[in-house]
Structure formats: structure tokens, C-alpha cells
Amino acid sequence: VQSFFRGWLCRRRWKQIVELYIHSPHAESMRKRNSIVFSMVECEEEYNRQLSTLVTCFLRPMRMAASSKKPPITHED
């Protein structure tokens, strides 16, 4: 019975500590920081996808065409 009661007291105290921290200014600043970091990571991933598309659709075909005898675009085009 005593160990059960001690466990209950510890869990209750822990919940109080967590609740106090959740509403603290430090926790709020950490949430903002994490939000900014995740946003930066998402932007970087999108940037990498767009660069990959540019390389695949434009750079490689232009390099291949430039190395061939027939130019990709003539002055008449």
C-alpha cells in the first residue's frame, strides 16, 4: 500500500511539474524555435527538389545536346 501511495504521489507531482513547464515562457520559446527549424528544413527539402528538377529537365539535356553535332536551338528558332 505504501509503495502504491508513493508512486501515486510521484506521478501527481510529475504531472504538476510538466504542466508548469508547458505553460512557461521557456517552453513557448522552444516551440517557436522548433517551428522555425522545421520550416527551414521543409524549405530546404523543397529547394533540393526544385534543383533536382532543373538538373534533370534542363541542365543534363542541354549538356547532352551541346556535346552532339546538332545544336539544341538554332538562330532561326
pLDDT digits (tens, 9 = 90+) for 10-45: 999 999 999 999 999 999 999 999 999 999 999 999
74 dihedral zone (left: phi>0; alpha: psi -120 to 50; beta): beta
The arithmetic mean of pLDDT across residues 2-9, rounded, is 95
Grouping H, G, I as helix, E, B as strand and the rest as coil, residue 75 is coil
More confident residue, 54 or 69: 54
Q: What is the largest CA-CA distance in the chain?
A: 93
Instruction: Give pTM, 2 decimals.
Output: 0.60
Q: Is the pLDDT confidence value at 77 over 70? A: no
